[in-house]
Structure 1
Amino acid sequence: MPRLPRFNLSGVPQHVIQRGNNRQACFFDEDDYLFYLECLQTAAGVSGCDVHAYVLMTNHVHLLVTPHRDRAVSRMMQSVGRRYVGQVNRRHERTGTLWEGRCRASPVESERYLLACYRYIELNPVRAQGMADMPDDYRWSSYHANALGRGDAWLTPHSLYNALGPTAAARQHAYRELFRIPLTAETEHEIRLSARQGVVLGSEAFRERIGQSLNIRATPGRRGRPKKNNAFTDR
């Protein structure tokens, strides 16, 4: 299987997914979730990444980040992986790998998809059957910070999020209102497909521009039928 491309593009947001090995759990108790977020906060600051949104599911992680240095996303995820896996293996008396190889990253065209990607990430627990009825019912996501102003002060809002309103309260209200409009099945599929294949999420012109600048494939392969949702699907 060919290795997924690495998009070393400073200032371009990326949707990052990291899954548990063989879709097995990578979080086992509350302390694991808390420690992962601590690792992520530290690694993001050191590597030069702004984290805008996240969700920690039982067996995978979604992040929306903007790198500001060369290879910043790779360095951030490597740092998180080293610290987190070592701690989890010690605490739970386990050995071996935890993650399924390299993380997958998809550059996101801001104007067209960025706020949709925010919502896609924070709605993961709602799409997973039986996990949450509403995004604020799930503890381990950035929805509480972005929509309610609670916790995660280390997150960095994207400029398009800041453009939602002149004050924090106005931005949070406008952000909550976005969740009243369901993401279309087409948008969900485009986000999911681009992340799984490690290609660009955006218009054809945006994909071509990214692909030409890096001399890599930036367009998804042949589209398939969307998979059914379940609690262990990479959403």
Structure 2
Amino acid sequence: LYVYEIMPNHWHLVVSPRRDGDLARFVGWLTLTHTQRYHVHKGTTGYGHLYQGRYKSFVVEGDAYFYRVCRYVERNALRAKLVKKAEEWRWGSAWARIYGSAEQKAMLTDWPGGQPDDYRESLNEDDDSDEAQEKIEEMRRSVNRGNPFGSSTWSEKMTARFHLDTTTRSRGRPRKGGEG
């Protein structure tokens, strides 16, 4: 577990599974356990959904792209205007890394390549520029389609390696070649 952010109506995790199938098993366990505990806490009988649809996952190229994903996740509460600084959100890894107990800090895995020295400051920088917004949209496209997030060359390699061709093609039926 590298970073996380638990929001009022959703959550984000940046994780690195060790073996094939680990991510699906973990998310299944997490959602089932949370649903059961929620129903016990609320005294409900378990009707209705807590989670609708599948979880979304995508592979991320190291360093700069990984950093962008982590920053996006840890800025979630700030973007939603729930806090004035990203590290003030008690249900996120930025808070845990700075203010958390030894146990909370131990849950977090060191980043591959290390965390940039200016990371904490960058968490609270505005993302209002067109360039910043385009980078966010690029990442959201990967989230929504499940396609690799990284440089073109790397993304093409990962698409082939993991048979993700359907995530990179346009959606819908191909257009007809000729008229009528």
TM-score category, normalised to shorter length: 0.7 to 0.9
Gapped regions of structure 2 (runs ≥ 5): 172-180
Shift of 1:181: 4.5
Larger CA Rg, structure 1 vs 2: 2
Shift of 1:145: 3.3
What residue is the counterpart of 1:142 in the other structure? Answer: 93
For residues 56-75 of structure 1, the aligned pairs below 5 Å read 56-75=6-25
Shift of 1:132: 1.2
What residue is the counterpart of 1:85 in the other structure? Answer: 35
Report the number of matched residues.
161
Q: TM-score w.r.t. structure 1 length?
A: 0.63
For residues 81-230 of structure 1, the aligned pairs below 5 Å read 81-94=31-44, 95=46, 96-129=48-81, 131-146=82-97, 148=98, 150-151=100-101, 152=104, 153-162=106-115, 164=116, 174-179=118-123, 181-183=125-127, 184-217=132-165, 218-219=167-168, 221=170
Query: How big is the alpha-carbon RMSD for the aligned residues of Structure 1 and Structure 2?
Result: 2.0
Secondary structure (helix, strand or coil) at the match of 1:102 reads coil
Gapped regions of structure 1 (runs ≥ 5): 1-50, 165-170, 223-235
Supply the distance in 2 between the matched residues of 1:221 and 1:179 (Cα, whole angstroms): 33
What residue is the counterpart of 2:5 in the other structure? Answer: 55
What residue is the counterpart of 1:38 in the other structure? Answer: none
Contact 2:62 2:112 (8 Å CA) reproduced: no
Secondary structure (helix, strand or coil) at the match of 2:91 reads coil
Supply the distance in 1 between the matched residues of 2:11 and 2:142 (Cα, whole angstroms): 16
Show structure 1 runs of 4+ deviating over 6 A: none
In structure 2, what residue type is equivalent to 1:56? I
Supply the distance in 2 between the matched residues of 1:194 and 1:160 (Cα, whole angstroms): 22
